[in-house]
Each structure stands twice: as structure tokens, then as C-alpha cells.
Amino acid sequence: MQKMKVLGSSRLFGEVQASGAKNAVLPILAATLLTSEAVVLHNVPQLTDVLLMQKLLISLGVTVKQTGSHSLFIQAKSLNTTSILSDDAQLMRGSVLTLGPLTARFGLAKLVLPGGCSIGARPIDQHIKALNALGANVEIDENHVQAKANRLLGTHIKTDMVTVTGTANIIMAAVLAEGLTVIENAACEPEIVDLVNLLKLMGANIRGEGTSCIEIIGVNALHGTEYTVMADRIEAGSFLCAAVATQGDVLVSGIQPTILANVTRKLHKMGCSIDFGNDWVRAKIQKRPLAVNIITEPHPGFPTDMQSQFMVLNAIAEGASCITETIFENRFMHVPELVKMGAQISVNGQNAHIQGVPNLYGAEVKATDLRASAALIIAALAAKGDSIINNIAYLDRGYESMETKLNQLGAKILRI
């Protein structure tokens, strides 16, 4: 596996462009299965998860053409199969996003179950419950989930917890169902709004996106369109954290500040100066940040995908703090790695107690998941001395050219 060497005591300055959002483009790619017409997508980030999703679509018989560095032409005119049984599907949880669209348009879908993953068990019971409620017959064996249906029928669905891909799957199933579907306890994430924006351009009838109650009136067919994927708020937030950790000054362009408010509010509380315009956000600080308590929550609460990056800030902050992770049961795997770098953190169940220290120190550490890999890079940039980060392939699943972008801001990162 690839590693990264990160030189410490860096300070980051300058401007960096946000890429397209991983968690928006994955459901959007799945949504292209809902029409026989062409969908042209722009601002598609170059990520291994995106390549994997394209591979899954191609395996179904979908035409996928790269028409520019960040643009794709996709047409699911007719499929060879509605089964996704390859190992690739198991590698990426996003593969479950094909379940709703395949069942809605073709009345048949069979998927290899996405396994548990390092940050938690991540079951798909809510996806299945909703498809059953929409009239599909869903069967599960040890390794597969299979859904069969005639036309799905609109219904009232209340999910037991807020689930992002669950909400995306239900929406994509309901857009072609007969009649009205109401989703209560729906995810309000901006990536859901982005998916709905695309679906509306394809002819879907949806309202309430961005709130916890979404209403969908099914239509007989959707048509093709052209769409630009939203910017990645987690990538942007990670750059802002890198600026704060290194007492720098970084402007992230191409991102709406409102979708980052839950992150910039915390940075402001940490003593960071935040400026923003229509499509940019800038974070600047010239001292150690102040410790802040954080509880991860569904949007508009503080995002779990920013938890590890903020743990680094708290680790070098003035004061003590507590970070409570409420979304995933195993998302503190970065803690022992940060401790190797001199952080003072102890974990008790879903709480991590952090005593800020003036400096972290370079060390050899390993990335344990996608966001942890970004957090370790941020920690290594701020640390005294150089670090080696192992298992860095995680990073490429969700950050496009992360080290190139950071090096443009003054970091010294080498992939080995």
C-alpha cells in the first residue's frame, strides 16, 4: 500500500478550489439508471469510489464515456443485467444506491451485500424496509439482497433513524412509483438536495428536500439532462482545518458558505477568523485554536465526516474538550494514531476526551479510514518533525489530488 511522507511545521497560505462532492456524485451516478436517455454530468471528482461506481454501471450495460477531465456522458438505454455481484460492489457501500433505481425502473435488482466497514456495522435494514413498504418483495440471503416488484406504489415511510443513502435510495425508488410517497425523518444533507435537483431536471416531482419531510409524486418516466455536481463540503472543511492547524490563511473557492456553516461556526468558536463570499470561504488564525466540544449529528448538526479533522484541532488547542460521535459506533480509530504523535486523548464509549498540547510530533502512523487519513495529514503538517502515513489509499476514495492541492498551499507532502 502507498504511504505519504509529510514534512511538519508547515504553514498553509493561499487559495484552493473545492472538487465535486463524493457523497453527492455517488447517488447521482446511481440516478442515471432511472432513465433510458443520456445524462451528462460535470464537476465529477476523480476518486477511486467514483471509478468503482462507474465500473458497476458499466457491468450492468450502461454506456459511460469520459467527455472531459471532470465530465461524464452516461446512458442506461437498456441493461444486460440488473444484478451486481462482483467483489467491487462489496468494496464500496455506495453500491447499495443502485437498489432503489434498479427496482423502480426494471422491477428487479440483485446486489451483493455491502459488508460491514471499519467505521461501523452500517446495516441496510432501512433501505429494505422502505422498498418493502413501496411494494417490492425483498429477500436477503447471507450475501445478497434481491428486490422484485411490478410498479412500485407510493406510500408513507418513516425511517427509524436519519439515513443519508437510505433517504437517497427511497427517493430514487419513489420517483417512478405510482402516486404519492412521503418520507418522514428524511436526511436533510445538502447532498440529498443535490440529488433532488438532478432528479427534478430529469422530470421528477419532489418537494421538501433539505427538510426532514420529503414528498414525491411518482411519474411514468424520467428523461435525460445535463447537471453540475455540487462542491464537496467535507473536502473544503478539511482544507479549512489544515489552515487552522498550521496557523495559516486559506481560501477555499467554488463552495457555497451556507453548506459549511456547521463547520465554520465551530472554527469561529475556536478563535479563527472566517470570511466568506457567494462561493468561497476563508479561514485565518495566527495562534493556537481554543478547544471546543463537538457532538456529531445529522445535518444541519456537526458532520461525522469532519469529526477526525476537528479532533486534530482540539489535540493542539488551548484547553480541554470532549468529542461525542453519535452516528457511527467505531469512528475513533484515528485516536491511537494521534496519540503516537503526542496527542492526549482518551476514549470512553462514544466520547473522546482531549487535553490540548502545544505540539504534536512527527511519527509513523496508519490511516484507518477515509476521513482519518485526512486528519492524520493535517496533524502531520502541524507536527514538529516529519511523519509517514501508511495505508494512504483510503485518501483517494474521497479526496481528489489532496497532496497536490495542499502542496500548492505550501505543504511538503510526498507520496511514496
Catalytic residue numbers, as ranges: 117
Q: How far is the CB of 117 from ligand EPU (least distance, A)?
A: 8
- Closest to ligand EPU by CB, 121 or 221: 121
Q: How far is the CB of 409 from ligand EPU (least distance, A)?
A: 22
Stretch that binds ligand EPU, among 116-124, 260-268, 278-286, 314-322 (CB under 6 A): 116-124
61 binds ligand EPU (CB under 6 A): no
Residues 296-355 within binding reach of ligand EPU (CB under 6 A): 303-305, 327-328
161 binds ligand EPU (CB under 6 A): yes
- Contact indicator for 377, 4 with CB cutoff of 8 Å: yes
Q: How far is the CB of 299 from ligand EPU (least distance, A)?
A: 7
Stretch that binds ligand EPU, among 65-73, 115-123, 259-267, 381-389 (CB under 6 A): 115-123
40 binds ligand EPU (CB under 6 A): no
120 binds ligand EPU (CB under 6 A): yes
Q: In what order do the strands lie in the sheet with 387-390?
A: 364-366, 387-390, 4-6, 413-415
Which of 164, 198, 374, 409 is close enough to bind ligand EPU by CB under 6 A?
164
127 binds ligand EPU (CB under 6 A): yes
- Return phi, psi of residue 119, to 5°: -85, -5
Give the integer Cα–Cα distance in Å for 168 and 216.
12
Give the integer Cα–Cα distance in Å for 166 and 134.
14
**Residues near ligand EPU (CB under 6 A), total:** 26
Beta-carbon neighbour count of residue 169 at 10 Å? 27
- Closest to ligand EPU by CB, 10 or 308: 308
- The C-alpha angle with vertex 405 and arms to 245 and 260, in degrees rounded to 5, equals 60
Give the integer Cα–Cα distance in Å for 347 and 366.
18
Where is 16: in which H helix or E strand?
strand 13-17
151 binds ligand EPU (CB under 6 A): no
- Contact indicator for 282, 306 with CB cutoff of 8 Å: no
Q: In what order do the strands lie in the sheet with 71-75?
A: 63-68, 71-75, 38-42, 225-228
124 binds ligand EPU (CB under 6 A): yes
Give the integer Cα–Cα distance in Å for 159 and 163.
8
Note the residues at the interface with ligand EPU (CB under 6 A): 22-23, 26, 93-94, 120-127, 161, 163-166, 303-305, 327-328, 370-371, 398
